[in-house]
């Protein structure tokens, strides 16, 4: 009997020394549900993360890479927190409205040159590089980051109409369903061409040849029959023709024949007697015909 009591005391003290605890089991009564675990701090939901994206991140991550659906969702979430952000409103309009309605249906072809992008073209022809998205959609592009040198894009003939996008906020669903989007009357193409011509000549006289050629090219795009008695106009026109012919030759040698022919067509409208354009345009057409036979 004494031995039994001693063994019981030893066992009890041994369990206490090793910290033995009887396991506990929580039992949920029938018909009830367990409470949801508390959310882990520092891990926001997907919608919260989308709302916290900056506008520049949305543009860089989604819009510039053609992820239009995700971009629209992110823009709408951003505008819920920043309803007065005009730039975000303009991006949303570019993404959701008809680009032909925004920029006009009249257009002219443009052969993409080295270093050009939708952003640089939007800055040059629409007056704002942020309008790259509507210009890309105007040309049916699903990825504004992809643009191939030598490819032909369509540029709206009345670029000033794009400025109307900055004049009013995006329409609500109700107003959009009941009335068309109001677009400010654009500057007439011929008047705009004359304005660009004057600016290009001023730059040319100042020795800023590259800038003068860029504006002169815009003027010729709007009005290929542009004429002037100013001797500097003739000089600048000759430089533009020589540069355009050089670009066409590069395209011709790379067998981008359609794009080269477009450039020679432009040259011959400005100067029908420019012999190099006549000769090489004919050769390009002949080569194109031979290639189509194979």
Chain segment 233-282, per-residue pLDDT in tens: 999 999 999 999 998 999 899 888 888 888 898 899 889 999 999 999 99
**For residue range 24-58, what is the model confidence (pLDDT) as tens digits?**
334 344 444 444 444 444 444 445 454 578 888 89
- Taken in order 51, 54, 59, 60, is the CA torsion positive or negative? negative
Are the beta carbons of 237 and 270 closer than 8 angstroms?
A: yes
pLDDT (average), residues 73-96? 92
| pTM of the entire predicted model | 0.46
Helix spans in the chain (H) = 2-17, 46-51, 55-61, 68-81, 86-96, 99-103, 118-121, 132-138, 173-178, 189-205, 209-222, 231-253, 257-270, 275-292
Q: Look at residue 123 and tell me whether its pLDDT is greater than 80.
A: no
CB 218 within 8 A of CB 123: no
Q: Which long-range contacts (CB under 8 A, 24 or more apart) does 140-145 make?
A: 141/66, 142/66, 142/68, 143/65, 143/66, 144/63, 144/64, 144/65, 144/66, 144/118, 145/64, 145/65, 145/66
The pLDDT assigned to 175 comes to 37
Question: Is residue 141 within 8 Å of residue 99, measured between CB atoms?
Answer: no
The CA distance from 237 to 73, in Å, is: 48
Angle at 216 between CA 183 and CA 201, to 5 degrees: 115
- pLDDT exceeds cutoff 90 at 71: yes
Most confident of 63-77, 147-161, 206-220: 63-77
Residue that wins the pLDDT comparison between 124 and 232: 232
Check: CB of residue 264 under 8 Å from CB of residue 242: no
In the block, residue with structure tokens 């800023």? 208
Section 66-95 average pLDDT: 92
User: What average pLDDT does this structure show over 204-221?
Assistant: 86
- The phi-psi region of residue 291 (left if phi > 0; otherwise alpha if psi is between -120 and 50; otherwise beta) is alpha
Region 118-122: mean pLDDT is: 84
Q: Determine the pLDDT at residue 158.
A: 61
User: What phi and psi values does residue 82 have, to the nearest 5 degrees?
Assistant: -130, 65
Q: What is the pLDDT of residue 13?
A: 47
């Amino acid at each position: 009997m004494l031995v039994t009591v001693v063994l019981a005391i030893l066992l009890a003290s041994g369990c206490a020394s090793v910290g033995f605890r009887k396991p506990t089991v929580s039992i949920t009564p029938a018909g009830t549900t367990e409470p949801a675990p508390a959310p882990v701090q520092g891990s926001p939901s997907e919608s919260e993360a989308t709302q916290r994206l900056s506008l520049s991140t949305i543009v860089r991550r989604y819009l510039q890479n053609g992820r239009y659906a995700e971009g629209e969702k992110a823009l709408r979430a951003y505008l819920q927190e920043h309803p007065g952000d005009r730039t975000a409103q303009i991006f949303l309009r570019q993404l959701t409205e008809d680009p032909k309605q925004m920029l006009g249906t009249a257009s002219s072809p443009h052969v993409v040159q080295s270093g050009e992008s939708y952003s640089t073209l939007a800055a040059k022809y629409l007056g704002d590089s942020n309008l790259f998205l509507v210009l890309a959609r105007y040309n049916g592009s699903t990825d504004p980051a992809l643009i191939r040198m030598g490819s032909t894009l369509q540029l709206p003939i009345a670029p000033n109409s794009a400025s109307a996008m900055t004049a009013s906020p995006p329409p609500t669903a109700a107003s959009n369903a009941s009335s068309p989007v109001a677009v400010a009357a654009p500057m007439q193409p011929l008047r705009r061409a004359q304005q660009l011509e004057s600016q290009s000549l001023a730059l040319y006289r100042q020795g800023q040849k590259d800038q003068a050629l860029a504006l002169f090219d815009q003027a010729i795009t709007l009005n290929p029959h542009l004429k002037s008695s100013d001797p500097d106009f003739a000089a600048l026109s000759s430089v533009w023709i020589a540069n355009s012919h050089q670009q066409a030759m590069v395209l011709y040698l790379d067998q981008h024949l359609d794009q080269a022919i477009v450039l020679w067509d432009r040259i011959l409208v400005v100067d029908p007697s420019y012999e190099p354009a006549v000769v090489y345009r004919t050769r390009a057409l002949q080569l194109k015909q031979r290639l189509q036979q194979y």
